[in-house]
Chain A
Amino acid sequence: MLLSIALLLPWVAGAVLLIANGRNRAVAWLAVSTLVATLVVLAFLAAEVYGNGNVRVVTGHWPEGIGIVLEADPLGVTFALLSVLVVTAAAAYESVGGVRTRTFPGLVVILAAGLNGLFVTADIFSFYVFFELAMTASYALSAYGGKRRQLRAALVFTAVNLLGSFIFVLSVAGAYRVTGTLAMEQIAERMLEVNPNAVLLIATGFFIAFSVKLGLFPFHFWLPTVYAGARPSVAAILSGAVANIGAYGLLRFGAGLFPQQLEQAGLALIILGAVSILYGGVLAVSRGDVAEMLAYSAIGQVGYVLVALGVAGPVGLVAAVLYSVVNSLNKALLFLASGVRGALVAGAFAIGSLSVAGVPPAAGFVGKLELFRTGILADSTALIVLLVAGSALSLVYMFQVYQRCFWRADPAKAKASPLPQRLIAAGLAVLVLAGALWPEPLLALSGQAVESLTSSSPGAS
């Protein structure tokens, strides 16, 4: 019931809000309150899932494999909660400043519906459907603002990601062709008996599709234009919520459906991740513009997730989940903070910067700590050196921009933004701080999420 409501609520509200005039303040706040209500439903759902195990719904009384299976497990609800939280923060931020287009509130709510759906489905085709729902909404959102920059960003974003979606749906078709089913559980079982070359091809297709979403190194080319061109709230949504699709997909499909292929490709993933970290870090240092620096930093940050995934094993996967969660909060915080000026903002930005670099009073520290544990467990000096180098680079580029933005007296930018906008950024910063000061829930959550992931995959030891 809760699961269905978590889908139904934003879907219906989003559809209705689409025809309302979003420039009206009441409509914008209605969208925000819908998102908050969705968040509450998801919180109850998460409590249920963490307390009593997975919540499962098979549509229409059909036997499993015919009816669509929706299953909320710890990994899914964690990502759903996180993404809807980021979307809510960004929507509230934009509502305070005044929404500029009719469709923004409706699109944001529809995006939340799509994200919820794809995080709780256990069927690869309905995953694709929800994925497209979320992506279509984000294509329209990326043009938000309507200036030349935003339209260019939207065009690049749409073109590249449509290609990614196409590769994804090809892989779905491939998986259906070789296994004759679309339910994730059955696919994971039947993949064991399929010709390994075919499986590898399908797994690679999924990997490429999700890497495009995430902006990993060889597929990153679209990302700087888009993140730098979009408005801060949209950039926060894209990097804090939509990019979660990529991280979640890599975890769910990689560790859940193709554990053997993940193991085989371990070294390749680590190398790609390492290149991502260094490339993103070095280019971020060379950028002066905040949004552009953050975009390159995003490329570097997802590299860590890939490295953790490449090391795999329970420790690596926990690190991957934890780091994706922390990274998504960081990015939301930094993009929102980069758009405002005034008291509180510099502090919030500094906390976000510390978190990206992985320095103690911020949640990024916990993520980096897990990554170091992974490196030590993998017994690899190179990996640890890489992590240190990456962190040092991020410390440099974050504080370079911090200095330029917040320490220089600049009368043109002195006008403070509305207090609620600054409070939203500060609230996210407090959340990032809380994640480090009391990391146990975050760790337990990631642990349980990974357990749910590996226990369902048959190839796991």
Chain B
Amino acid sequence: MVRRSGRGAAPDSVVRVVARMLPAPSVMVAAALIVKGYAEVGDGFAAGVIVALAVSLTYVAVGADGAEAVLPVLRHAPKIAVTGLLLALASGFFPLVYGEEPVSHQPAPGEPLTKFGKLELFTQLLMDIGVFLLVVGVLVMLLHQFGRLRGEEKS
């Protein structure tokens, strides 16, 4: 049974359908994890891994070329990763501009927060979004490389 789904054979239709449906909700879960904030479990890293897992299923189901045709944004994975890294670095080092220590965040601990629904607005959020983008970008780059290996084997 396992052998049949090896080279050439298309994966099960259930897998393909699930793979198609999964990325959008995974982004919602990721957003929820980031919004949940710091008192509870969840941050940019976990959010990034969840999205990357959903995307990896797409790679398994339809292959690298297929996945990148369905979700063209995946082709920009290196740029996403670097943007994320730069965003995280910026949130860490920006305080230097107004003479504070690196990784100081606004508002500081204990100060009142602006809330937008459940979302707490503070500069730490930028760091988390940066980490999220970085993790997604790097994992998708890896998936792309592995997917391409499989493609080369076929030809």
Residues of A within 8 A of B103 (CB): 59-60, 67-68
Stretch at the interface among B17-25, B32-40, B61-69, B81-89: B81-89
**Which of A1, A8, A61 interacts with B104 by CB under 8 Å?**
A61
Q: Tally A-B pairs: CB < 8 A.
A: 41
What's the least CB distance linking B83 to chain A, in Å? 9
Q: Known contacts being A4-B93, A4-B96, is A15 close to B105, with CB within 8 Å?
A: no
| Contact between chains at A57 and B82 (CB < 8 Å) | no
Residues of A within 8 A of B96 (CB): 1, 4-5, 8
Residues 50-63 of A, flagged 1 when their CB comes within 8 A of B and 0 if not, give 00000001111100
Is B102 in the interface zone, CB < 8 Å from A?
A: yes
Is B147 in the interface zone, CB < 8 Å from A?
A: no
**Which of B85, B93, B101 interacts with A8 by CB under 8 Å?**
B93
**Which of B78, B93, B101 interacts with A61 by CB under 8 Å?**
B101
Closest to B105 in A: A60
Number of chain B interface residues as a range: 10 to 19
Q: Known contacts being A4-B93, A4-B96, A15-B89, is A60 close to B82, with CB within 8 Å?
A: no
Q: Known contacts being A4-B96, A11-B89, A12-B86, is A57 close to B102, with CB within 8 Å?
A: yes
A5–B105 Cα gap in the complex (Å)?
A: 18
| Contact between chains at B101 and A57 (CB < 8 Å) | yes
| Contact between chains at A58 and B101 (CB < 8 Å) | yes
**Which of B78, B89, B100 interacts with A18 by CB under 8 Å?**
B78
Residues of B within 8 A of A409 (CB): none
| Contact between chains at B93 and A18 (CB < 8 Å) | no
Number of chain A interface residues as a range: 10 to 19
Q: Known contacts being A4-B93, A4-B96, is A60 close to B86, with CB within 8 Å?
A: no
| Contact between chains at A15 and B82 (CB < 8 Å) | yes
What's the least CB distance linking B142 to chain A, in Å? 13
A401–B153 Cα gap in the complex (Å)?
A: 44
Is A16 in the interface zone, CB < 8 Å from B?
A: yes
A16–B89 Cα gap in the complex (Å)?
A: 12
| Contact between chains at B102 and A59 (CB < 8 Å) | yes
| Contact between chains at B89 and A59 (CB < 8 Å) | no
| Contact between chains at B89 and A60 (CB < 8 Å) | no
| Contact between chains at B101 and A60 (CB < 8 Å) | yes
Is A19 in the interface zone, CB < 8 Å from B?
A: yes
A interface with B by C-beta (< 8 Å): 1, 4-5, 8, 11-12, 15-16, 18-19, 57-61, 67-68
B interface with A by C-beta (< 8 Å): 78-79, 82, 85-86, 89, 93, 96, 100-105, 108
Which 5 residue pairs of A and B lie closest in terms of their CB atoms, listed nearest first? A59-B103, A60-B103, A15-B85, A60-B104, A8-B93
